[in-house]
Structure 1
Amino acid sequence: MINKIGLACIIDDDNMYVNLIKKIVEAKSLCHNLMVFKNGRDALNYFEAILTSLDKKTIPEIIFLDLNMPIMDGWEFLENFTKIKNKLGKTITLYIVSSSINPVDIERAKGINSVEDYLVKPVTIEDLESIFLKEV
């Protein structure tokens, strides 16, 4: 029996993309639970709140982060998340998932230690399977 990822997180305001990823994750049974935030501010608020409880079951093992969102974009989320990530006491693998193919964005993202990889939308079933299965 393969262990599954307990909790994964999508931070993205694109409803079609989020629904597609949810369907793939559910159909392929890639993780037990999936949480979704529509912008970086809501996600950051969540992570800052669990700093006080440090309930490891509420901390995702994987984050898929979009760059272009309202309220707080992915870059601003990353800047703030990097400051608190180590205090969470759990390894979190973060992937940028963006429609941007701008080499400047890709290089900037890959230059951030917290970022595992940069994926260009649309993400394929194979991409997701490889990420989720690599993490377990």
Structure 2
Amino acid sequence: MSIKTIHRACIIDDDKLYVSLIKMLINKNELAQELLVFENGKQAFDYFEEALAGNNATALPQVVLLDLNMPIMDGWEFLDALEPYANELKQSSLKLNVVSSTINPEEMNKARNHAIVNDFITKPISKEAMISAFRL
């Protein structure tokens, strides 16, 4: 089964090996034309804030893969920082997925129940989970 290639995807993760594997999966399966990569939530938030403040929703990715544990600004802080933009994000075609190796059920539920989170995906991410994350 093939899925439509999206215009822009985003990985927010500080694990260089994971990022290179995900990039390879995305490219091999032709899931996105363009890929934004941020090593921490602060870099990503600055990008998102600029796009949202400038009413430039087309600059936003359609799919985001967000890690929770990162330096500078972690995934939870990133989600909190985006909270004021929840309405704009819901109106855009953004699908924000938390991707984490946590096995803590409380963290998993907290992520799944967050207002702007589409889904929680466990690392290591399978090809099937990746393709599902990109299905709009």
TM-score normalised per structure 2: 0.90
Q: How many percent identity over aligned positions? A: 43
Instruction: Give RMSD over aligned pairs.
Output: 1.6
CA distance in 1, matches of 2:53, 2:115: 24
CA contact (8 A) 2:3 2:31 kept: no
Structure 1 runs of 4+ with >2 Å offset: 51-57, 85-89
Map of 1:70 onto structure 2:
71
Tell me the SS of whatever aligns to 2:118: strand
Deviation at 1:52, TM superposition (A): 3.5
Gaps of 5+ in 1: none
In the comparison of the two structures, how many residue pairs are matched? 134
Map of 1:23 onto structure 2:
24
Deviation at 1:2, TM superposition (A): 5.6
Q: Letter of the 1:4 partner, please give it.
A: T
Q: Letter of the 1:69 partner, please give it.
A: M
Summarize the alignment of residues 114-133 of structure 1 with structure 2, pairs less than 5 Å apart: 114-132=116-134
Map of 1:101 onto structure 2:
103
Matched, 1:43 2:44: yes
Gaps of 5+ in 2: none
CA distance in 1, matches of 2:53, 2:78: 19
CA distance in 1, matches of 2:115, 2:128: 25
CA distance in 1, matches of 2:87, 2:52: 10
Map of 1:90 onto structure 2:
92
Tell me the SS of whatever aligns to 1:69: coil
TM-score normalised per structure 1: 0.90
